[in-house]
Structure 1
Amino acid sequence: MRVGDGGLAGVTGIDTAAERPPSEAGLSAAAVDSIWGGVEAMYRSGAFPAVTFCLRRRGQIVLNRSIGYARGGGPGESRGSNARLAEPDTPVCMFSASKAVTAILVHKLAEEGGIDLDARVSHYLPEFTGGGKDRTTLAQVLSHRGGFPMFNVEGTDSGPETLLDWDRCIRLICEAPADKGGNRLAYHAITGGFILAEIIQRVTGMSVREYLDTRLRKPMGMRYFTYGLDKRSRGRVAVNYVAGQPVRFPISVLAKKALSADFAEVVNVSNTDYFMDAVVPAGNLYATAEELSRFYQMLLDGGVYEGRQVLAPETIRRAIKPAVRLRFDHTLKIPMRYSEGLMLGVNPFGLYGPMTGAAYGHLGFMNILGWADPSRDLSASLMVTGKAILGGHLLALGQLLSTISWQCRG
């Protein structure tokens, strides 16, 4: 169903079958309208050709909507006959928001007794010894203290095509020197995911896709929510676009170091078939906004989904427990606070808005967010297709997060 304000009605999709009356979630209609108005403001910023958004409060879906074009609405792109509107159930690449799911799979394997999170990585991957990494633990990798934040082997081509060669990635990471492993906080944009997923595969004898399917995706009834995207679904996927202000020095250099490729190149590769064929544990899980919100609601509910215990409560407690106090992240160049696998909220203002120190979730390239906030009893997901670092969209995003925090308080 397509409704909305007068100017956006034609590009707004609402899952009326899923959305519940605001009163069932302890909200007023005005509060929900205010939150959705914040999403509309993000779209109006021009940085996001498509936005999908899902908000659960007290376990009830109050917003599950889309706005914009999944294809054909990018900056400077003509909306021809191939243009396609986004829908609430449009699959979107989560990019780094995938890390939270991979981390929870590692915690699940620990719950099952397959691994010890405090054990050394080299116990499970004997070749993981290059440059002093032999003492690095799984917990340190999960909390971005592993000492191998980038593909930084001198003289080695580590462009985006490297990410599609699993064995090469593992070899490069294992052989690379460590950078103060266990001590220096530096976001592992790509590398940590490969090591964690490789451990899952070696211990279980299953592919990481199969492990995800059996532990989360199928038990929770997900349509997508997996690494890559099957060919029959690619006609529905949202296309990613470079947007916002041009990325220039020094930000361009920082972005390239973190992503192992130029900013625009990463965006372009993400729209290719070979990227959707691949498994990139830290960056190519596809989901709808509702599926990502469902995942965080399960964590918020102590690991229960529709009466089924998907994760043990003690597993979640460890997964969301702060592992790193607020410290300067040498990759992201900002102060960050992590658990073993999740980005944590900060007071007075953090990733998830003002006074969200109890919140946990993960950010994805760029401005994709999935999170749960126990203090507000909410789980939310914001999926966007415009990849913009700088621009007016940042103000709109901050306002949206502030509105959610304010309207869902108490």
Structure 2
Amino acid sequence: MEAAIVNGHCAPGFEGVRAAFERNFREHDEVGAAVAVLRDGAPVVDLWGGHADAAGSRAWERDTLVNVYSTSKGMTALCAHLLVDRGELDLDAPVAHYWPEFAREGKEAIPVRWLLSHRAGLPAPREPLAEGRAYDWEYVCEALAATPPWWEPGTAQGYHAVTFGYLVGEVVRRITGRSLGAFLREEITGPLGAEVFIGTPVAEQPRCADMVGQLSAAQLRERFPDLPTPPVRGIADHPRAGVALALTYLPTGDVNSAAYRSAEIPSGNGHATARGLAAVYAALAGGGLVRPATLEAMRSSQSRPGEVDLTLGGFAPEGSAAAYRWGLGYMLNDRGQAGPNRRTLGHGGAGGSYAFADPENGLAYAYVMNRFGGGTSGEDPRSRALVAAVYEALAGVRGRP
């Protein structure tokens, strides 16, 4: 295989991150990717390389955007926490206080907190989504408002892989009058100069990388043949019923299309540079976005010890998001996928992207790529290798006289 061209820079002492990034192309079939690390707000790693398409006809550039799937959830949650910080949102208030139509089918008392911690019992509506309707915000939110919970809210956690963004995003919209993507851009990423979009403007789309090798819904069913076929009415019908229906909300066949990139699906269609994601997490780690008390709440565990995820339990491999504790919208660092500090907070995305903040070490990290690989939990070996190299470099830099 021809060696990939890697561009960018590493600060003295962080050269090992570049070596790990280059190895990913040789050993893990990387197509195109970027990694960015900031320490105390200053860039110490800013690397990119490879190709933005499967044919190898477009080089991955410094400003290449790429779909980061559920890494988007970290940005979506941050919008809610910014409103908390401003006193405009109470996490313990009922969702229906902000979204009155939500108060149906036994959901009257569900607090906003349970939306952020995957405890609301709403991983999907009870009916499959018609093709193309994932792009219709009003339609999906009405379907969720009319849906009975799949389990008694608050009693269990179950990853809301697709619905998380609609649920949290609609609360943000009801409070601010702005869509989640507009609020993110106007209140967070725009002021930071961070290139992160949920609803990517058409003018920015020519620099989007194409995703390579993503499994379609049909291929996922081939890989997991015991998934039930809708209609399924509840967890009692089949333990993976919610997962099966959630798949109907994933427009997997057109993730490289203008329609998909322009839509707002805040759970999973954010498009970003690694530098942009790292800039947001650096501002969070450095105290520039929310107060310390809000940051502490964001990374406080909302899971019970040993709790199994009702939508992913038994579905995802050991060590994945199925066994993770959740903070308020963030994956907690139980297995060290974000380095040795167990108090980091961040989120990963399907395919392998990952981004996090480590406030205690003043670090922000982001890795994005276009070859669809590992799951959503930061466990992809490409990211694991990069994170290990970052903390090895940090230890070395600190040990210098």
Matches within 5 A, 1:261-272: 261=247, 266-272=251-257
Q: Give unmatched runs, 5+ long, in structure 1.
A: 1-5, 23-27, 305-309
Quote the residue 1:328 is aligned against.
308
Per the alignment, do residues 396 and 53 of structure 1 end up closer, same or farther by CA in structure 2, a change over 3 Å counting? Answer: closer
Per the alignment, do residues 47 and 138 of structure 1 end up closer, same or farther by CA in structure 2, a change over 3 Å counting? Answer: farther
Aligned residue among 139, 154, 166 for 1:194: 166
Q: State the Cα distance separating 1:64 from its structure 2 match.
A: 0.8
Per the alignment, do residues 40 and 163 of structure 1 end up closer, same or farther by CA in structure 2, a change over 3 Å counting? Answer: same
The answer on whether the counterparts of 1:52 and 1:87 sit within 8 Å (CA) in structure 2 is no
Q: How many residues align?
A: 368
CA RMSD of aligned residues (A): 2.8
Aligned residue among 300, 311, 315 for 2:290: 311
Aligned residue among 8, 11, 18 for 1:36: 18
User: Does structure 1 residue 64 correspond to structure 2 residue 46?
Assistant: yes
Q: State the Cα distance separating 1:102 from its structure 2 match.
A: 1.1
Quote the residue 2:141 is aligned against.
170
Q: State the Cα distance separating 1:213 from its structure 2 match.
A: 2.5
User: Helix, strand or coil for the counterpart of 1:371?
Assistant: strand
The answer on whether the counterparts of 1:289 and 1:382 sit within 8 Å (CA) in structure 2 is yes
Quote the residue 1:91 is aligned against.
65
Per the alignment, do residues 324 and 405 of structure 1 end up closer, same or farther by CA in structure 2, a change over 3 Å counting? Answer: farther
Quote the residue 2:338 is aligned against.
352
Quote the residue 2:233 is aligned against.
none
The answer on whether the counterparts of 1:193 and 1:280 sit within 8 Å (CA) in structure 2 is yes
- Alpha-carbon distance in 1 for matches of 2:156, 2:44: 41
User: Helix, strand or coil for the counterpart of 1:202?
Assistant: helix
Quote the residue 2:223 is aligned against.
249
- Alpha-carbon distance in 2 for matches of 1:320, 1:130: 30
Per the alignment, do residues 396 and 94 of structure 1 end up closer, same or farther by CA in structure 2, a change over 3 Å counting? Answer: closer
Q: State the Cα distance separating 1:169 from its structure 2 match.
A: 0.5
User: Helix, strand or coil for the counterpart of 2:169?
Assistant: helix
Matches within 5 A, 1:364-383: 364-383=349-368
The answer on whether the counterparts of 1:189 and 1:259 sit within 8 Å (CA) in structure 2 is no
The answer on whether the counterparts of 1:189 and 1:282 sit within 8 Å (CA) in structure 2 is yes
Hey, which of these two has a bigger chunk of strand by percent? 1
Letter in 2 for 1:295: V
- Alpha-carbon distance in 2 for matches of 1:219, 1:397: 28
Q: State the Cα distance separating 1:394 from its structure 2 match.
A: 4.2
Letter in 1 for 2:156: R
Aligned residue among 147, 152, 176 for 1:180: 152
Quote the residue 1:11 is aligned against.
5
Quote the residue 1:229 is aligned against.
200
- Alpha-carbon distance in 1 for matches of 2:134, 2:27: 32
Aligned residue among 49, 63, 71 for 2:31: 49
Aligned residue among 314, 317, 339 for 2:327: 339
Per the alignment, do residues 7 and 408 of structure 1 end up closer, same or farther by CA in structure 2, a change over 3 Å counting? Answer: farther
Q: State the Cα distance separating 1:7 from its structure 2 match.
A: 5.8
Quote the residue 1:102 is aligned against.
76
Per the alignment, do residues 45 and 268 of structure 1 end up closer, same or farther by CA in structure 2, a change over 3 Å counting? Answer: farther
TM-score, scaled relative to structure 2:
0.83
The answer on whether the counterparts of 2:93 and 2:111 sit within 8 Å (CA) in structure 1 is yes
Q: State the Cα distance separating 1:144 from its structure 2 match.
A: 0.9
User: Helix, strand or coil for the counterpart of 1:218?
Assistant: helix
Per the alignment, do residues 113 and 375 of structure 1 end up closer, same or farther by CA in structure 2, a change over 3 Å counting? Answer: closer
Q: Give unmatched runs, 5+ long, in structure 2.
A: 228-239, 314-321
User: Does structure 1 residue 126 correspond to structure 2 residue 115?
Assistant: no
- Alpha-carbon distance in 2 for matches of 1:270, 1:321: 33
User: Helix, strand or coil for the counterpart of 1:63?
Assistant: strand
- Alpha-carbon distance in 1 for matches of 2:273, 2:87: 31
- Alpha-carbon distance in 2 for matches of 1:218, 1:243: 30
- Alpha-carbon distance in 1 for matches of 2:257, 2:101: 32
Per the alignment, do residues 243 and 45 of structure 1 end up closer, same or farther by CA in structure 2, a change over 3 Å counting? Answer: farther
User: Helix, strand or coil for the counterpart of 2:140?
Assistant: helix
Q: Deviations over 1:133-189 (max 9, x none)?
A: 2221101110111110123x1xx3326623101111011111111122112111111
User: Does structure 1 residue 385 correspond to structure 2 residue 357?
Assistant: no
Letter in 1 for 2:389: T
Q: State the Cα distance separating 1:383 from its structure 2 match.
A: 0.2
- Alpha-carbon distance in 1 for matches of 2:38, 2:388: 16
Per the alignment, do residues 229 and 351 of structure 1 end up closer, same or farther by CA in structure 2, a change over 3 Å counting? Answer: same
User: Helix, strand or coil for the counterpart of 2:168?
Assistant: helix
Quote the residue 1:219 is aligned against.
191
Per the alignment, do residues 243 and 97 of structure 1 end up closer, same or farther by CA in structure 2, a change over 3 Å counting? Answer: closer
The answer on whether the counterparts of 2:165 and 2:266 sit within 8 Å (CA) in structure 1 is yes
The answer on whether the counterparts of 1:119 and 1:137 sit within 8 Å (CA) in structure 2 is yes
Q: State the Cα distance separating 1:271 from its structure 2 match.
A: 0.7
Per the alignment, do residues 375 and 250 of structure 1 end up closer, same or farther by CA in structure 2, a change over 3 Å counting? Answer: same
User: Helix, strand or coil for the counterpart of 1:324?
Assistant: coil
The answer on whether the counterparts of 2:33 and 2:49 sit within 8 Å (CA) in structure 1 is yes
Q: State the Cα distance separating 1:280 from its structure 2 match.
A: 0.9
- Alpha-carbon distance in 1 for matches of 2:226, 2:353: 19
The share of aligned pairs that are identical, in percent, is: 26
Q: Deviations over 1:299-356 (max 9, x none)?
A: 1101x2xxxxx4333322222222225532223332111111111101xx33324x33
Letter in 2 for 1:235: P
Q: State the Cα distance separating 1:47 from its structure 2 match.
A: 4.2
Q: Deviations over 1:237-285 (max 9, x none)?
A: 01001169x754328846992783379x744321111111211111122
Letter in 1 for 2:393: Q
- Alpha-carbon distance in 1 for matches of 2:32, 2:241: 23
Q: Deviations over 1:99-145 (max 9, x none)?
A: 11111111111222222110011111222134322221101110111
